Structures are given as C-alpha cells and as structure tokens.
Amino acid sequence: MGSSDRLFNRERTLHEILGAGLVADLILWRQKNITVGILLVTLAAWIVFEKSGYTLLSLVSNVLLLLIVILFLWAKSAAILNRPAPPLPHLHLSEEMVNEVATFIRIRVNDVFSVSQDIALGKNSRLFLKVASCLWLISFVGGLTDFLTLAYTSLFIVLTVPALYERYEDNIDRHVLKCYRKLCQLYVKINEEYVSRVQHYILEKQKLS
C-alpha cells in the first residue's frame, strides 16, 4: 500500500509512530507476556476495588503499612540473629534527575497556559472547539462510569485497538478511506444544492435592501 492509500497519507508504520520502543512493543503485543500480564494485573486491581470497597488511597496505605511492618520485623530479627539486613536499594534522587523532571513539567505547564490564553482571548476558534469538545466528551463519559472503570477501559482499548489495527491495517485503511471519499462527495453535493442557494438568497436580499 502506498502512502496515499493509508490514513492521513502517512509513510511511517504504526510501530514507528508509537515511538518504536518498549511502549510501542507493549501496545502492539510484540512482548505478549508483559502485555497480558499488565491486562491481568489491572483487571485484578479493578475487581479488588469494585468488589472489596477499597479506595485507591486506603489500598496504597495498607500495602505500604504491610511492607514497612515486614521490613521492620525483618531488620530487627536479623540484628538479633546476626543475619543480613533486608536487601534494600539505595534510594536517592540526583539533582540532575530532579532538574530534568522539573524542566519537563515546566515546559508542559507553559504549553497549557499558552493554549488556555489563546482560547480565553478568542485567538483560535478551531482550538477552542477541539478543547470544548474534548472536555464535554470527558464530562459525558465521566457521568456514565467511575474513574477506575474508565481507567481500566481506556487501558484495555490502548492495548487492543492499535494491535488489531496493525493486524488488519490494509482492510481498515481501505474501508475508512472509501467512507471518507463518500462523505466528501456528500459534502460537496450538500454544499452545491443547499449552502450555495442560501448564500445566493442572502446576497439577493442584501441587494434588494
């Protein structure tokens, strides 16, 4: 298939668009065991939250409490029995790492501020419509389900839809482009038959007045 026969006339593969790294491999099931493991773990977590009544904060607190108690008792018993202490890694954030994270966050926040300012001042109507549509869609979906279900469903979609698309890419592109061309033809037809008449009618009214 040539680039003109693919969606958005792209020349790169889906794997390359997704970064051609570990994330792309996971999304496209190049490492099936890890992808399946992620789906199963998230499914188990979703079931635990839904059926047990736990909240994310209470579950994290209990897990951390259990971990701290185990490590504390292990260290105390090791000191009494002259055994080695728990093998903990050296936890330390370097100044370089903190600066990199801070720079990344600053750039992204400034981008959000810039976009918000353009929308607030009415400089970009198309961007306003996109942002408003996305926020309305999030609000609508959020009213239908809770956050955890939405998060698991989103992860499930991310880990399945791109892989299915890559597998049936040629067929999907062909049918989507066919529908797109038909919609373009319909748009041209409607524009010629109705919109042009309305514009002509408005011009005639303006001339008469």
The residue whose two tokens read 């199963």 is 40
pLDDT band of 4, cuts 50, 70, 90 = low
Do residues 61 and 170 touch, judged by C-beta distance below 8 A?
Answer: no
Q: What is the mean pLDDT of the chain?
A: 82
- pLDDT score at 29: 86
Q: Cα Rg for the chain, rounded, in angstroms?
A: 27
- pLDDT score at 8: 61
Residues in Cβ contact with 54 at an 8 Å cutoff, skipping those fewer than 6 apart: 48, 62
Do residues 131 and 123 touch, judged by C-beta distance below 8 A?
Answer: no
Picking from 30-44, 67-81, 89-103, 194-208, which range would have the lowest pLDDT averaged per residue? 194-208
Residue 2 has pLDDT above 60, yes or no: no
Q: Which 3 state secondary structure label does DSSP give 138?
A: helix
* CA-closest candidate to residue 50, choices 154, 157, 152, 156: 152
pLDDT band of 106, cuts 50, 70, 90 = very high
pLDDT band of 65, cuts 50, 70, 90 = very high
- pLDDT score at 149: 82
Torsion (CA) 143, 133, 191, 3 in degrees, nearest 10: -110
Q: Is the dihedral of CA 66, 71, 74, 79 positive or negative?
A: negative
- pLDDT score at 69: 93
**What percent of the chain stands above pLDDT 90?**
8
- 112-165 pLDDT, tens digit per residue, is 888 888 888 777 778 888 888 888 888 888 788 877 788 888 889 998 998 898
The amino acid at residue 80 is I
- DSSP assignment letter at 18: T
Q: Which 3 state secondary structure label does DSSP give 173?
A: helix
Q: Is the dihedral of CA 45, 65, 68, 88 positive or negative?
A: positive
Picking from 57-66, 173-182, 198-207, which range would have the lowest pLDDT averaged per residue? 198-207
- pLDDT score at 184: 85
pLDDT band of 15, cuts 50, 70, 90 = confident
- DSSP assignment letter at 129: H
93 or 117, which is more confident: 117
pLDDT, average across residues 177-202: 78
Tokens at 44, concatenated: 């188990």
pLDDT band of 110, cuts 50, 70, 90 = very high
- 41-58 pLDDT, tens digit per residue, is 888 888 887 777 777 788
Report residue 73: phi and psi, to 5°. Answer: -65, -35
